[in-house]
Amino acid sequence: MTAVVMTAPAFAEEGVKLVIDGEELTTEVAPQEGNPLDPVRSGWTFRSEETQALETDDFENPGFPLVDYGEELWNTADGSTGKSCASCHGDASESMKGVRASMPKWNKEKNTLFTLEDYINLSREEHQGAKPWKWESQEMLGMTAYIGLQSRGMPVNVSIDGPAKEWFEKGKKMYYTRYGQLDLACAQCHEDNQGTMIRADHLSQGQINGFPTYRFKWSGLGSIHRRFKGCMDNIRAEPFKRGSDEFTALELYVAWRGQGLSVETPAVRN
C-alpha cells in the first residue's frame, strides 16, 4: 500500500487579500455554531501566489472561456418551445444573483434536494422542451460557471432546515465515514491535516465556494461532484455517481462548512 506522507503546515502569507474587479472577497470567516473549522478558509488561501494571481484577473483566469460560452447559451433558443434562458429569466446579472450562493436547496415541487445542475436540467426539460445536459458537459459547466459568476462576492448561505436537514445529516455522516482501500474519510485530510503537504500540494479545507473550478490537473473546469469523485478515486474507493443522492447530500454538508465565504466562481486551483 502506498504511504501518504504529510509535512508541517504551510499557509499563505497573512494579510493577502482576494480582490477581483475592485471588490474584496471574503476568504476567511469565523465558524457558525457546530462547524469544527476555525477559522473557515477558502481554498484560495492555500494556493501559490501564481495560482492566486490567475483568479484575480478575469482576462487571465483560464475558466472564463467557458463562462463566455455559458453566456452565449443563456441567450440561445433551444428545444421545442423555441425559448432561451433569457426568455424567461431576463438579465442573468439580476435574476441569477445569489442563486449559486444558496445551492444545493430544497425543491418543494419535486420533494427532493436539488443542485444547480438539477435546476438547469429541470428548466431545459420542462420549460424549453430540450434534452438535459450531461453533468460534466461543456454546456453544463459553461452554464453553471456563468450563473455562478452572478453570485461572485456574495456569501455562501445554504439552508439546512426542514426536509433538507435529513440530507445534511446524511452528508455529515459521509464526511466522517472511512472509505476505500486507504480507509480514509474526508475529515482526515480536510479537517485534521489542512495546510499540510500531500505529494506536491497543500491540503485545503475542501471548500466548494469556487465551483465550477478550473484545475490545472484537469486542464479545464470541473464540477463539485467531479472533485468528490476524484477524492474517492484517490483513496481507492468505489465512487458514487455525479448527481447521486449521496454526492448531493455531501455537497450540502460541505457547502454549509463554508458558510460565509464569498462565492469565487470560477476559482482557479491546482
pLDDT tens digits for range 4-41? 333 333 444 555 799 999 999 999 999 999 999 999 99
Region 124-135 average pLDDT = 98
CATH number of 18-61+155-269: 1.10.760.10
In degrees, rounded to 5, the angle at the alpha carbon of residue 245 between the alpha carbons of residues 127 and 211 is 70
Question: In angstroms, what CA-CA distances link 243 with 39, 114, 209, 229, 253?
Answer: 30, 9, 18, 11, 15
Residue 37 DSSP class:
-
At residue 15, the pLDDT reads 57
Mean pLDDT of the chain: 93
At residue 14, the pLDDT reads 52
Note whether 105 and 114 are within 8 A (CB): yes
Inform me whether the pLDDT recorded for 106 exceeds 90. Answer: yes
pLDDT tens digits for range 189-212? 999 999 988 766 789 999 999 999
Torsion angle of C-alpha atoms 167, 168, 171, 176, degrees rounded to 10: -140
Inform me whether the pLDDT recorded for 1 exceeds 90. Answer: no
CATH class of 65-149: mainly alpha
Region 135-151 average pLDDT = 98
Note whether 195 and 9 are within 8 A (CB): yes
CA-closest candidate to residue 264, choices 149, 159, 157, 158: 149
pLDDT tens digits for range 44-100? 999 999 999 999 999 999 999 999 999 999 999 999 999 999 999 999 999 999 999
Region 154-172 average pLDDT = 98
The CATH 1.10.760.10 portion of the chain extends over: 18-61+155-269, 65-149
At residue 151, the pLDDT reads 98
| Contacts with 231 (C-beta within 8 Å, 6 or more apart), sequence order | 186, 189
| Enzyme catalytic residues | 231
Q: Is this prediction's pTM over 0.75?
A: yes
At residue 200, the pLDDT reads 64
* Residue ranges in the chain assigned as alpha helix (H): 49-56, 64-74, 85-89, 92-95, 116-123, 138-149, 164-175, 186-190, 224-234, 245-257
Residue 126 DSSP class:
I
> What SS3 state is found at 142?
helix
Confidence at 113, pLDDT banded by 50, 70, 90: very high
